[in-house]
Structure 1
Amino acid sequence: MTIINACWLFIKSYFSKLYAVYFIRWQISTVVMMPFMYVLDSMGLPVIPNLIIAQTIGSIIFFRLDKLIFNFFDSIKKRKHGSTD
């Protein structure tokens, strides 16, 4: 496999419904975490601790949502391939 083919396969893997849903979810998480970062910034917290705290809050909020997204797409994939687990 040439490097060009490998790069194309990598790029092509992003053209999927799963990636589109994940991309939208990622953009929503940015908007959701902005208020936390704004409050922490207004309290004078430096950028790095601010980011770590905001990411922690975001991971708590979006853990369940990510699980739902990926479980939903796994169930579709299983139905499509006829698996019955």
Structure 2
Amino acid sequence: MNDILELLQQTGRPAPNIWPGYWPTFCVDWNLPSVKNLKLEVFAGRVEVYRYNENLFDVWDEAHELGGPFSDDFLNELPSPDTAASV
């Protein structure tokens, strides 16, 4: 979770909502009109990325080691820095 918060801050992205998950996890989302249907669930060694649609959702895992980089696919899912200006 610390790596995600650091990434958001360093890249100027908007601050998220964070709450405890069902497992020993953190759930993350954004209450912004430009950030629709995105939720993250942060585990110790991975992040589950959820994109909801009308009926179902897509989910994929982003493997992550503490202090390591995030993939380009993961970075592309996050809200862009310019959405922070509209908060």
TM over 0.5, yes or no?
no
Question: Which of the five TM-score ranges fits, normalised by the shorter chain?
Answer: under 0.3
Q: Highest Rg: 1 or 2? A: 1
TM-score normalized with structure 2 length: 0.25
Structure in which a larger fraction of residues adopt helix: 1
